[in-house]
Structure 1
Amino acid sequence: MELGGDRPIVTIILLNVVTAFIFTAMMGAGPVIAIGVIVLPILMSLGVPKAIAMFTFMGSVSAGMYLNPVLQWSQLRAFILAADEMPEFSFTWYATHWGYFALAISLVVVCILAGIYLKVSKPSHAWAAQTRGASEQKDAPLYALILPIVPVVLKIAFDFSVIGGFVIAGFAALFLCGRMKGSFKENCQLVNKLYYDGVVDTAPLIGFLLTLPMFNTCASYAAPYFKEVLGSFMPTNEYVICALFAALSIMGFFRGPLTLYGCGAATLGVLRGVGSFSAPFLFCVFTIPSTTVNVGSCITQSWIAWGLAYTKVESKDYLKLSIPFAYITSILLYVLTAFTVTGLTGSWLVS
């Protein structure tokens, strides 16, 4: 709070860096929600408008994902190569030649855009109203403030279960804050109420996850049509492909033909059919819309759907902020791709 003052951008940058670092090791709706309920209230209490707070948090999440081995190597790489193919294309090679730069570029763009958005927006403070008869609110003990990072530390240091880490930290918080001093029955009722409130808070996310498989199935049925339409004029020059994908970054939204979490598998098949491209090139070309556009900017992403409900931000207001971020970041990352992973031959080629 004291870092905010009249320049909340300092706090935003610090939180963005920490968030990106966290999500180099964690991913999924659960961790995003767990960190979001800490970061978003801090930003909004500093007067950062809700839409900007949500944008900068989700953007920093997607920045960290560029070095996340689960997302990049266990999921996206599987679209390009089988696990035992091309061992020289390792996560270490990817990170040192492209991943670290992608994370840095994404993080810088998020911070710059957040500063610009703050300049042109009006601050909205959320001060607590003082009312008569209100019960005195006690501050949590200082040592309890380390509990939010306990699951992160357990995961990074010991590869501990994410869910187990949050359960441990949650019960520790209740004990340290004096919320579990009653009888066993009363404590059970308290935990039951907290679970109930948690389900209510995440209800939009649960509903979204139930319908997402239907959305993805529809995208898979549309994939052959994209392949037929795109196959006749797809370029074979790597630099032209980078320029084309940068210009059409908008097609990564709503599970479109550029994201591997939608119809992108068909586009990948088209590229493989029209030319011989290296595995690193194909991987970088498709991870940009799949990460920056899909994971960090599109409202069809599960944790963004949760964020919209949590912050009460309209989807159109969020897209007004996230679309420029998706375009600018994608363009810069395709320039990075053109300078770093084009022209690879020999064992790098994918038939």
Structure 2
Amino acid sequence: MIQLIIGVLLLIAFAGLVYYAFKGGNLMMGMLVMAIIWATLSIVGFMIIKDPAFLAANKAQVETSLPDHLKAVFQSGPEGWGPTLVNFIFGAWFGRVMLKTGIASKIIKLTVELGGDKPVITSILLSIVTVLVFTSMFGAGAVVAIGVIVFPILLSLGIPKKTALVSFMLSVGAGLYINPVIFSQYKMFFLDSQGRETVSYDGTYLKWGFAAMAIQLVVAIIFTIIFSRKKRQVHAWASPIPQNTTAEANRVPGIALITPVVPVVLAIGLKVPVILGFLIAGFFALAVCGYMRTWKGTAEVFNKTFYDGVIDTAPLMGFMLIIPMFNAASNLAVPYFQALLGGVIPNSTLIIAIAFAVLAPLGLFRGPFTLAGAGAATLGILKSLSFTNNFLFALMYAPTVTMNISSCITQSWIVWGINYTKVETNDYLKSSAVTGWIITAILSMLTFFIYG
């Protein structure tokens, strides 16, 4: 009986987090409070419950001392995120190198020249290039830096503002499905009780990830084609490509254009560690673009790009150091969810996949279907059932990347895009929510066919 009461209290706390996230509360504080509440309730339960069946089923946790429980949640949890933190920093540095050298600007400039005077073709080509760029770059700084180049081009060609904005953000998100650093960020939700990884970047994930990237890109292209057929209005912009980025792009040699895909190719094709891949690609870019002529100059640009990259990702790093605490606390809560919901939530992968397809908009506004919000609590509940981690990862990753990162107005770079293009928030959300819902529904069923 006590385990059922604790299970109800855990669900009430979960509902509180969902409400808090919907209201736009600070997620770092919200997840910290949830970790404390869930850990406290779970540990107290292990101490006071006397039910023989419960004690036998959870013998290891019951026999663990209080200090060890606290260490597992509040010390070992954040410490276990160390490798991902390092990947984040080097990935951010690589992104800054791409911007510093002008490689990203050069790729976009060549894409526009290839598209000629056909606005829709140019828009489609820019979507493809954006996807490729964000398979290795990430972060608000990178999105803004690319956006200030892409948006003036699209708008000056007469692509409607809302169409340009939705298409660009979907393209950014599509690339992130293959981005090894973003993958490393969210795989931390799936560490086992000893802090070991349970999902890996290679193998079956890449099969699903490439399919997800392609599906989101195709939807972005279809959206562009459909909504660019209306009468286009050309917007007057000072310059299709900002002058400073044009100057940098003109100094970029052709060989440098392969840089964005180098880390991904090295990781997938040659099994090169992610950090080494970023270092190879980053210094290759600096060398061929003339930033390594002297030792002093090389050191200065390396320090500056490293510093800027860390600044770009600092807020996210703080949040992701709290997530392992909640992840460890959710592991402690599993026995109570099993007791309370074991006979309520179906164990059928098909039914769960259909539920995620139908309820995909719950990934908006940091809701219960996104790991960048209250979805961490949802995952804690689903972990108490018999689903595999590969299935759960793909199931939760789709609304996280598509509904949240690619479509939601709570995403920082989407807020920037809305302000930059002067699109009405509600007008943007009407389109982004529908396209995101379609993509997530397709990916939910794809998840069932691959992992179910």
Change (3 A) 1:160 1:152: farther
Conservation of the 8 A alpha-carbon contact between 1:45 and 1:126: yes
CA drift at 1:104 = 0.7
Equivalent position to 1:250, from 347, 361, 367: 361
Larger Rg, first or second structure (1 or 2): 2
Equivalent position to 1:291, from 398, 401, 409: 401
Equivalent position to 1:159, from 270, 278, 288: 278
Residue number in structure 2 paired with 1:331? 441
Change (3 A) 1:41 1:259: same
Residue identity in the other structure for 1:64: G
Change (3 A) 1:13 1:140: closer
CA drift at 1:95 = 3.8
CA drift at 1:110 = 1.0
Residue number in structure 2 paired with 1:45? 156
Structure 1 residue 91 corresponds to structure 2 residue 201: yes
Alignment of 1:125-144 (within 5 A): 125-127=234-236, 144=250
Structure 1 residue 70 corresponds to structure 2 residue 184: no
CA drift at 1:151 = 10
For structure 2, the residue ranges without an aligned partner over 5 or more in a row are: 1-111, 264-276, 292-311
1:150 and 1:36 mapped to 2: Cα distance? 21
- The 3-state SS of whatever aligns with 1:67 is coil
Residue identity in the other structure for 1:126: H
1:139 and 1:146 mapped to 2: Cα distance? 11
2:257 and 2:279 mapped to 1: Cα distance? 8
CA drift at 1:310 = 1.5
Change (3 A) 1:2 1:243: same
1:24 and 1:139 mapped to 2: Cα distance? 21
CA drift at 1:153 = 2.9
1:38 and 1:308 mapped to 2: Cα distance? 15
Residue number in structure 2 paired with 1:276? 386
CA drift at 1:160 = 5.0
2:417 and 2:351 mapped to 1: Cα distance? 36
TM-score (norm 2): 0.55
Conservation of the 8 A alpha-carbon contact between 1:22 and 1:152: no
1:81 and 1:139 mapped to 2: Cα distance? 42
- The 3-state SS of whatever aligns with 2:189 is helix
- Of Structure 1 and Structure 2, the greater helix share is in 2
Query: Which moves more between the two structures, 243-252 or 3-12?
Result: 3-12
Alignment of 1:197-236 (within 5 A): 231=341, 233-236=344-347
**Which digits, 9 at most, give the CA deviation of each residue in 1:20-60, with x for residues without a partner?**
11111111111111111111111111101111111111000
CA drift at 1:159 = 2.1
Superposed CA RMSD: 4.0
Residue number in structure 1 paired with 2:172? 61
Structure 1 residue 308 corresponds to structure 2 residue 423: no
**Which 4+ stretches in 1 moved above 6 angstroms?**
149-152, 161-172
Residue number in structure 2 paired with 1:320? 430
**Which digits, 9 at most, give the CA deviation of each residue in 1:295-342, with x for residues without a partner?**
100010111111112112221121122111111101111121111111
Change (3 A) 1:249 1:280: same
Residue number in structure 2 paired with 1:122? 231
Residue number in structure 1 paired with 2:128? 17
1:106 and 1:263 mapped to 2: Cα distance? 23
Residue identity in the other structure for 2:130: T
Structure 1 residue 239 corresponds to structure 2 residue 350: yes
Change (3 A) 1:238 1:128: closer
1:138 and 1:154 mapped to 2: Cα distance? 21
Change (3 A) 1:101 1:338: same
Aligned length: 287
Percent identity reads 41
Conservation of the 8 A alpha-carbon contact between 1:239 and 1:338: yes
Conservation of the 8 A alpha-carbon contact between 1:151 and 1:169: no
Change (3 A) 1:153 1:110: same
Change (3 A) 1:236 1:141: closer
